[in-house]
A and B are shown apart, each in its own frame.
Chain A
Amino acid sequence: QKEVEQNSGPLSVPEGAIASLNCTYSDRVSQSFFWYRQYSGKSPELIMSIYSNGDKEDGRFTAQLNKASQYVSLLIRDSQPSDSATYLCAVESEEYGNKLVFGAGTILRVKS
């Protein structure tokens, strides 16, 4: 079983819709969770971090964490064509030696 799993997509949503990106992880003691956005040919850009169960909102982005289910998600409201990118889920824990373990990413396409 991979440590961090994401659906590779592509996930296609119309402009203005809500995009829902999901991530599961295998390490029960994971402590920190991050979402990065990566445009083609560019480096990852940190967009959200979440450390405790529940929701965290920042503008059009909402991160949701459920440690019991080992599940973290990212919601993007009012999706824009400029949101089209690969979204990487990353998990950090002492079990991993405090390194970031990334999923393979989900490709999001927002159609205008």
Chain B
Amino acid sequence: DAGVTQSPTHLIKTRGQHVTLRCSPISGHKSVSWYQQVLGQGPQFIFQYYEKEERGRGNFPDRFSARQFPNYSSELNVNALLLGDSALYLCASSFGRVSEQYFGPGTRLTVT
């Protein structure tokens, strides 16, 4: 069975630009969560979507937004990129809103 997939794998952007990251959950999973991980730290929660509705938002600025599509795939958008947005962005899927989460390979974003 295919796991969680994310695209792109790596991305280099310039300060002030916009970026869109994509995630496809495990087949049958209805919940997608986004996390940001910087070096030396654990993943930090950004958003959770379940059944296409936002069910949770972490302590991130409004430059961060996300959505979930009818096929349960999801996009994370970040506007006005800052150097501090450089990180590994992880998508995790789960069957329900409260259940085990499985991570995709991540997107490594570098902002220069």
Contacts and interface: CB of A to CB of B under 8 A. Distances in A.
A99 B56 contact: yes
Interface in A73-112: 88, 90, 92, 97-105
A88 B98 contact: no
Nearest to B98: A98
A105 B42 contact: yes
A42 interface: yes
A43 B103 contact: yes
A90 B42 CA distance: 9
Interface string A37-49: 0000011111001
B90 interface: yes
B29 to A, nearest CB: 13
Interface residues of B, number: 24
Contacts of B103: 36, 43-46
B90 A44 contact: yes
B40 interface: yes
B98 A32 contact: yes
Interface string B20-43: 000000000000010100001111
Interface string B85-107: 00010101000011011111110
27 contacts: A31-B98, A34-B101, A42-B105, A43-B88, A43-B103, A43-B106, A44-B43, A45-B103, A46-B100, A46-B103, A49-B100, A88-B42, A88-B43, A97-B55, A97-B56, A98-B56, A98-B98, A99-B45, A99-B56, A100-B35, A100-B43, A100-B45, A101-B45, A102-B42, A104-B40, A105-B41, A105-B42
Given A97-B56, A98-B48, 16 more contacts: A34-B100, A42-B105, A43-B88, A43-B90, A43-B103, A43-B104, A46-B101, A88-B42, A98-B55, A98-B56, A100-B92, A101-B45, A102-B42, A102-B44, A103-B42, A104-B40
